[in-house]
């Protein structure tokens, strides 16, 4: 069997970013509107700071404005809620992103529910979650949206395909399952209590792994010809690169899986780049909707 075709997330993301930049330019000239994203980060989690910098940089490269609120770890929940209320009421802010994870004892669901659903560019507000499951237009979470965009571009329709989503988080697994269902796939959601994960994988025409467990999904579990999207980001030691060195790998054993799958995303360079590009897209969508404009074709 021939090797899987690599789904190049960087290429897809570059295309989305080009579309976003063109939309932003058009909004500026035709409507004097500069889409503006407020990014709120609480605490000193290193990975979160890296993500926030990348998001800010990409927003600015697309011609948007950003406003970063970097708050100390000990910020009381009520102060965070007050800031969100202020951002909700500010007409110059189109999108609000609360970088997760929030440090304890802040109640994440309460904070996410405080964001105006119209500015909820991550799609985590319960109203947007409900809209996604009921098929109404809302804000769709960025990682699943990016996965679905790549799936649609790769496969000739998803109707009737067996799809397995491994992971049931509110951020990735559940919204991914909702999007697959919307495309008429037959969807199974696996999680830490699932028995016979290998068997479920062998049945899947489309497999989305969003666990956070390095190489959990063995190559021999993959159905020949399946389309595999690997969302996982796991840092593992890489002695071949030198003492103490590490590398990022996904949830799928890529080297074996690529010999079996029909299509597969690499890690890095697969789902990750699309996630940030789709955040930019959501910010433009939010800004347009707030002006009563239709969604762009990005």
Known catalytic membership, residue 55: yes
Among 98, 197, 206, 284, binds ligand NDP (CB under 6 A): 197
Name which of 118 and 128 has its Cβ closer to ligand NDP.
128
* Structural Rg of the chain based on CA atoms: 19
Decide if residue 166 touches ligand NDP (CB under 6 A). yes
Catalytically annotated residue among 58, 116, 119, 122: 122
Residues 6+ apart with CB under 8 A from 196: none
Q: How many residues in the chain? A: 298
Among 43, 167, 219, 266, binds ligand NDP (CB under 6 A): 167
Please state the closest distance from residue 262 (CB atom) to ligand NDP, in A. Answer: 21
Report which secondary-structure segment, H or E, holds 146.
Answer: helix 142-154
Name which of 42 and 209 has its Cβ closer to ligand NDP.
209
Name which of 188 and 290 has its Cβ closer to ligand NDP.
188
Among 88, 108, 194, 290, binds ligand NDP (CB under 6 A): 194
Please state the closest distance from residue 266 (CB atom) to ligand NDP, in A. Answer: 11
Decide if residue 195 touches ligand NDP (CB under 6 A). no
Decide if residue 190 touches ligand NDP (CB under 6 A). yes
Decide if residue 188 touches ligand NDP (CB under 6 A). no
Question: What CA–CA distance (Å, rounded) separates 282 from 286?
Answer: 6
36-42/186-190 β-pairing: unpaired
Decide if residue 169 touches ligand NDP (CB under 6 A). yes
Catalytically annotated residue among 99, 116, 119, 253: 99
- By CB under 6 A, the residues from 136 to 155 that bind ligand NDP are 143
Decide if residue 171 touches ligand NDP (CB under 6 A). yes
Question: What CA–CA distance (Å, rounded) separates 266 from 272?
Answer: 10
Is residue 68 within 8 A of residue 52, CB to CB? The reply is yes
Size of the site for ligand NDP (CB under 6 A): 26
Name which of 116 and 251 has its Cβ closer to ligand NDP.
251
- The secondary structure of residue 141, as a DSSP letter, is P
Beta strand ranges found along 36-122 (DSSP E): 36-42, 65-71, 95-98
Is residue 165 within 8 A of residue 199, CB to CB? The reply is no
* 64, β-bridge pairs: none
Known catalytic membership, residue 99: yes
Name which of 19 and 273 has its Cβ closer to ligand NDP.
273
Place of tokens 């063995």: 218
Report which secondary-structure segment, H or E, holds 256.
Answer: helix 254-257
Whether omega for the bond prior to residue 105 falls within 30 degrees of 0, making it cis, is yes
Please state the closest distance from residue 158 (CB atom) to ligand NDP, in A. Answer: 20
Is residue 63 within 8 A of residue 92, CB to CB? The reply is no
- The secondary structure of residue 209, as a DSSP letter, is E
Name which of 219 and 272 has its Cβ closer to ligand NDP.
272
- By CB under 6 A, the residues from 262 to 281 that bind ligand NDP are 271-272, 275
Q: Is 206 helix (H, G, I), strand (E, B) or coil?
A: strand
Catalytic sites, residue numbers: 55, 99, 122
Binding site for ligand NDP (CB under 6 A): 143, 166-169, 171-173, 190-194, 197, 210-213, 216, 231-234, 271-272, 275
């Amino acid at each position: 069997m021939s090797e899987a075709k690599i789904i190049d997330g960087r290429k897809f993301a570059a295309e989305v970013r080009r579309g976003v930049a063109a939309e932003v330019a058009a909004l500026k000239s035709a409507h004097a509107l500069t889409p503006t994203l407020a990014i709120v980060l609480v605490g000193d989690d290193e990975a979160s700071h890296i993500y926030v910098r990348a998001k800010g940089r990409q927003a600015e490269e697309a011609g948007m404005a950003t406003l970063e609120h970097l708050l100390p770890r000990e910020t009381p929940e009520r102060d965070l809620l007050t800031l969100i209320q202020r951002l909700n009421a500010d007409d110059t802010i189109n999108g609000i992103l609360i970088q997760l994870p929030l440090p304890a004892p802040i109640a994440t669901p309460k904070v996410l529910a405080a964001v105006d659903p119209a500015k909820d560019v991550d799609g985590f507000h319960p109203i947007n979650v409900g809209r996604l499951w009921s098929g109404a237009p809302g804000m769709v979470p960025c990682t699943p949206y990016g996965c679905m965009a790549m799936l649609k571009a790769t496969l000739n329709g998803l109707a009737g395909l067996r799809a397995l989503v491994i992971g049931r988080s509110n951020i990735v697994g559940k919204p991914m399952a909702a999007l697959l269902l919307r495309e008429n796939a037959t969807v199974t959601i696996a999680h830490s209590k699932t028995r016979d994960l290998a068997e479920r994988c062998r049945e899947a025409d489309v497999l989305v792994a969003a666990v956070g467990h390095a190489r959990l999904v063995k190559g021999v579990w993959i159905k020949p010809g399946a389309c595999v999207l690997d969302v996982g980001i796991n840092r593992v030691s890489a002695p071949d690169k030198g003492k103490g060195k590490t590398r990022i790998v996904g949830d799928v054993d890529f080297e074996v899986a690529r010999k079996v799958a029909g299509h597969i995303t690499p890690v890095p360079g697969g789902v990750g780049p699309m996630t940030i590009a789709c955040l930019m897209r959501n910010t433009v969508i939010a800004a347009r909707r707030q002006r009563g404009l239709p969604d762009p074709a990005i």
